[in-house]
Amino acid sequence: MPMANKTAPDPDTPVRTPSGIELPLVATGAHHDANGEGLPARYPFTRGIFPDGYRGRLWTMRQYSGLATAEESNQRYKFLLARGQTGLSVALDLPTQCGYDPTDPMARPEVGKVGVSLSNLAEMETLFAGIDLSAISTSFTINGTAAIIYAMYIACADKRGVPRDKLTGTIQNDILKEYVARGTWIFPVRPSMRLIADSVLYANEATPRFNPISIAGAHVRDAGATAVEEMAYTLANGLAYVDELIARGGDVEKFAKRLSFFFYVHMDFFEEVCKFRAARRLWARLLKGRYGVRDEKALHFRFGVVCGGLSLTAAQPYNNVVRVTVETMAAVLGGAQSIFTAAFDEALQLPTEFSAELALRTQQIVAHESGIANTVDPLGGSHLVEFLTDRMEREMERVMGEIDAYGGVVKAIEEGWLQARIAERALERKRNIDGKRTIVVGVNAFRREEGEADAGAVPRLDPAATQEVFDKFEAVRQRRDPAGVERTLAKLSDAAADDRENLLPYLVDCCHAYATVGEMVGRLKSRWGGFKEPGL
């Protein structure tokens, strides 16, 4: 199939990164300043936050995973742990994420489709049966109902006799980006920000080793934002959370140590490496410059990544293994603390055991065979890498300045300005692919004219699994003490009306009483109302 040669035939034609930065043909010392030199673990941390890089501790291998029922998911976690995974990452179904009980008419068709249904503590107990909560860190991709799932995790640890201060892991708990890209918002912006501040401040005391928020750029990126915009929007959201926490009386020197981040890694290798180096430096500078943070640990930009997403294709799905390998290397060279490598069939279905194992093996090979983790920031000092790091940092500051000029990120989201920008960017990206200005192998170049090989049957969710979720849900409702449930829910409802209260202790009590996600969300919604989506 004919295609444009990516190397411009005319050497004077500019070549740009996907973020629009013009690349030199040859980079030299004249292209950058000395920022990238120096040592890791020294402000502003361009070269990393740990002096010994990955020699001291490898990144956490954390595969996002969740099947319809808690039992099957528990089995899949044990399967992954047995194959060398070093952390858990729980994928929840949409009803749990959006605050509906499984039997709600809105929820029924969606139960167990994109992750596990976790409507109450009994399900959480099943999910972690036989897994030592004090020994493994667990990440929950949960936002609208993050405070509830976190409370449920604490209740689960309590019941198992695991001390709360032994719990490690992360709840995503980043509602701002849900309004922009991921769409599992429930409440209006302001009470949602309160719920986040409540959980962060509570977690700092109750579970000091647990990350109560993972400020995520991954989803705006996958929706179409460039690498520069991904980082800029996320740092802007990060600052909005810092402001909220300070307004609630939080000590930035303390809570900033528990802020973490989450991003996508897509295909443009050097841009991906450099966006992490640039953002790590910029975050430290922002916290020091704006808030006077002194404790170096509070300046650390710690982040997890997912490799795959939009960069993967449904066409010729095995090509995705190669893409994820390149992306994993970029994540490592950028200094990620945890990595999720997506399965090659992600664009088609939930991963099978085969594809899930191959995805894990991909990062194990990078970790243990490639040798790239043996030296801290091995690309530091490369003229191109330092040039791109400098330029991307400046571009991130420019985009953040545009948000400030609009009136801040909360206003930009409430009024739909940011959402509209991302939609336009997504359209631009699509047009670039349609017009072959961006080459995607197997999609707009090197297609199989003879037609696609059969990707194989996509396994359908067994209706028996959904029925099992409904049955267990009803059984728990029958078993529990209704007066106790009502008592804890009533207290939650009262506390929700008083901004000075921290809601987390009330949510933990509700979970202990086996109140359901839908019941807790229902009480909060009756106090706060729901989010009204701005028009397109």
Contact 145, 178 (CB under 8 A): no
Q: Is 439 in the site for other proteins (CB under 8 A)?
A: no
Q: Is 485 in the site for other proteins (CB under 8 A)?
A: no
Q: Is 423 in the site for other proteins (CB under 8 A)?
A: yes
Contact 145, 99 (CB under 8 A): yes
Binding track over 145-184 against other proteins, x by CB under 8 A: ---------------------------------x--xxxx
Residue 475 C-beta-side C-alpha neighbours within 13 Å: 9
Q: Is 94 in the site for other proteins (CB under 8 A)?
A: yes
In the list 431, 474, 482, 494, the residue contacting other proteins (rule: CB under 8 A) is 431
Contact 373, 52 (CB under 8 A): no
Which H or E run contains 138? strand 138-140
| Residue entry with tokens 């199939």 | 1
Q: Is 312 in the site for other proteins (CB under 8 A)?
A: no
Minimal distance, residue 145 CB to other proteins, in Å: 12
Residue nearer to other proteins on the CB measure, 131 or 348: 348
Minimal distance, residue 420 CB to other proteins, in Å: 9
| Residue entry with tokens 């969606």 | 110
Q: Is 23 in the site for other proteins (CB under 8 A)?
A: no
The H helix count followed by the E strand count for the chain is 20, 9
Residue nearer to other proteins on the CB measure, 106 or 490: 106
In the list 41, 81, 114, 326, the residue contacting other proteins (rule: CB under 8 A) is 114
Based on the number of CB atoms within 10 Å of its own CB, is 116 exposed (0-12), middle (13-18) or buried (19 or more)? buried
- Phi-psi category of 381—alpha, beta or left, where left has phi over 0 and alpha has psi -120 to 50? left
Residue nearer to other proteins on the CB measure, 209 or 437: 437
Minimal distance, residue 461 CB to other proteins, in Å: 7
Q: Which DSSP string corresponds to 109-163? A: GGTTSSSB---SHHHHHHHTTT--TTTS-EEE---TTHHHHHHHHHHHHHHHT--
Query: What is the distance of C-alpha 358 from the center of its chain?
Result: 21
Residue nearer to other proteins on the CB measure, 10 or 450: 450
Residue nearer to other proteins on the CB measure, 36 or 309: 309
Q: Is 353 in the site for other proteins (CB under 8 A)?
A: no
Reference 319, options 457, 459, 452, 222; nearest CA is 452
Residue nearer to other proteins on the CB measure, 178 or 395: 178
> What amino acid occupies position 526?
S
339 pairs with which residues across the strands?
A: 61, 305
Per CB under 8 A, residues contacting other proteins are: 94-95, 97-98, 100, 105-107, 109-110, 113-114, 178, 181-184, 223-224, 313-315, 347-349, 422-424, 426-427, 430-431, 434, 443, 455, 457-458, 461, 533, 535-536
